[in-house]
Structure 1
Amino acid sequence: MKKLSIFLVAAMLLLLSACGTQKSDQGEKETKSGGSENELVKEGSLTFAMTGQYPPLNFKQDGKLTGFDVEIGTEIAKRMGLEANPVTNPWETIIQGLKANKYDAIIGSMTATPERDKQIDFTEPYYLSGAQIFVAENNKDTQSKEDLKGKTIGVIQASTWKDMAETLTSPDKVKGYPVDVNALQDLALGRLDAVITDKIVGVSAKNEKGLKIEPIGDLLNEDRVSIGVTEGNKDLANKINEALQSMIDDGTYEEISMKWFNTNIMEK
């Protein structure tokens, strides 16, 4: 009888020990999971990703990453008390890389869409883009979308901008182009009355190629280009938002924007 009692006590102690270990392991997992949102991929640095193939927003020059996105990310890191660590990743897997903790954020001109928001979280926008109407600098007759009725509009072939253009003029007055820059060059030469394209694309072409074109009116639709962070990482998103807002408030954001685009791309 005594042997049986000793056996039962030993079995209970073994069971309690196993339960304690399981709870301890679970608690450790919860602690790691709960703290992971505040950890950085590289201690003391903000590691942020982009393709490096989207000038003037992000690209390589003499083997070094540069561009608007890089400067915005670098300034945000500085205001967070961190070193900037920009890295590249192919666009098609850039969200997967963030989810796999390869980097802390995506600062690579990504539009915050409902589909992407299901996978990651976004900060407030760090610039606004979207469909923009451009006209030649000397065109004083076309100053709003209402002035485009019956006018010839250039767009990229098979784009959503083609549908927009057709509602503003007529289908037979919409001319398709393989790339934006060809349409914008024809616009500057007076072969078109207007072009509808992405705002940043048009502004970049104007600055880089010296095209005598101007944006008119408000955006026809709005793309809120934001910084992506891992889902649930509110702490990092809030810190980035605070840094970005301070840049806007003290004029640093506008300085960077003017350097790359000769306009403030946070404004519509």
Structure 2
Amino acid sequence: MYTYTQEVLTIRYLRFALISLLLSSLLWIVACSNQSQSDNQLTLEEGVFSYAMSGLYKPFNYTDSKSGNLAGFDVEIGEALAKEMGMKPNPVTNPWESIIAGLQANKYDAIIGSMAITPERDKAVDFTNPYYRSGAQVFVQDKNTSIKSPEDLKGKKIGVVKASTFSTIAKEYTSEVTEYTSDVTALQDLPTGRIDAVITDQAVGFHAIQEENFPLKEVGKPLNLDEMAIAIPEGNEKLKEKINVALQAIIEDGTYDQISQKYFNRNILGEEQ
């Protein structure tokens, strides 16, 4: 026989089921709304393109001694891309050894910091099309006569920047590798005798010699050719496509060449190898 108690329990159950259904529907609507917002918003802050670099890689990215602002090739490429995308540029700095971790933690939208594409990095981030190509070059003190070719690096003390592809190359020649926070600091240490050579980007070394009057010289030809690209969080295909379109646009309209000529007196995009 259907009792009063059973009736009350049934009503309570129906109320509970209805409330659960309403809550589930509400959560689904919120989730869909957030997903839609995420899909439509390419960057962390709408209308702003924040991009990171070490700020210690002159002439690619550094702090201008007069203005105190970030300057360099990477900074201006980021500004040109942001303008092309209809966004406000926001260059920021982050230590190089943790710059990918910062991207993964959503501290900024991208890395425009002269990052070479490597298989290991490609597992952690997505890369755009290359925005310049350059090689790893050996530099020594200008009076050095013992290192005339890369083969002479065996057993020598080599300086490189932390967490760089240059560090990997240096370890192919010697176990005595000293890591620095910046390539410029490593180059400055050469005349002291604490290290015998530095492996860094060719353009960085040439700039130190020609513009900063560092008492250095290059050894042989570049050890390799790296393709530098813009790193973005994995899976953000819309941002990747938007940057690639903007990059192609500034290449075609001459903006890229203008920036490159300003810093290097040549176009450093080069030809695809």
State the secondary structure of the residue aligned to 2:10.
helix
| CA distance in structure 2 between the partners assigned to 1:31 and 1:120 by the alignment | 26
Once the two structures are TM-superposed, the CA of residue 42 in structure 1 deviates from its matched residue by 2.7
**Matching residue's letter, 1:98:** L
Q: Which runs of 4+ in 1 moved over 3 A?
A: 154-166, 178-184, 209-217
| CA distance in structure 1 between the partners assigned to 2:171 and 2:57 by the alignment | 26
Partner of 1:238: 241
TM-score (norm 2): 0.70
**Matching residue's letter, 2:266:** T
Partner of 1:110: 115
**Matching residue's letter, 1:24:** L
Asked whether the equivalents of residues 58 and 204 of structure 2 are also in contact (C-alpha less than 8 Å), the reply is no
Write the mapping of 1:187-206 to structure 2, written as runs, cut at 5 A. 198-206=201-209
Aligned residues: 232
Deviation digits for residues 197-251 of structure 1 (CA, Å, limit 9, x no counterpart) = 532224423542469989987x542322111111111101111111111111122
Deviates more, 1:61-70 or 1:124-133: 124-133
| CA distance in structure 2 between the partners assigned to 1:197 and 1:53 by the alignment | 13
Is 1:127 aligned to 2:132, yes or no? yes
TM-score (norm 1): 0.71
**Matching residue's letter, 2:19:** S
In structure 2, the gaps of 5 or more residues are 140-146, 159-166, 175-184, 192-197
In structure 1, the gaps of 5 or more residues are 135-150, 167-177, 185-194
Write the mapping of 1:217-236 to structure 2, written as runs, cut at 5 A. 220-236=223-239
| CA distance in structure 2 between the partners assigned to 1:207 and 1:243 by the alignment | 32
Asked whether the equivalents of residues 46 and 104 of structure 1 are also in contact (C-alpha less than 8 Å), the reply is yes
Asked whether the equivalents of residues 137 and 218 of structure 2 are also in contact (C-alpha less than 8 Å), the reply is no
State the secondary structure of the residue aligned to 1:59.
strand
Once the two structures are TM-superposed, the CA of residue 12 in structure 1 deviates from its matched residue by 3.0
Write the mapping of 1:247-266 to structure 2, written as runs, cut at 5 A. 247-266=250-269
Is 1:96 aligned to 2:101, yes or no? yes
**Matching residue's letter, 2:262:** K
Give percent identity, aligned residues only.
Answer: 44
Cα separation, partners in 2 of 1:19 and 1:245, compared to 1, 3 Å = same
Once the two structures are TM-superposed, the CA of residue 119 in structure 1 deviates from its matched residue by 2.0
Cα separation, partners in 2 of 1:60 and 1:34, compared to 1, 3 Å = same
| CA distance in structure 2 between the partners assigned to 1:93 and 1:162 by the alignment | 21
State the secondary structure of the residue aligned to 2:211.
helix
Deviation digits for residues 170-211 of structure 1 (CA, Å, limit 9, x no counterpart) = xxxxxxxx9557889xxxxxxxxxx97532224423542469
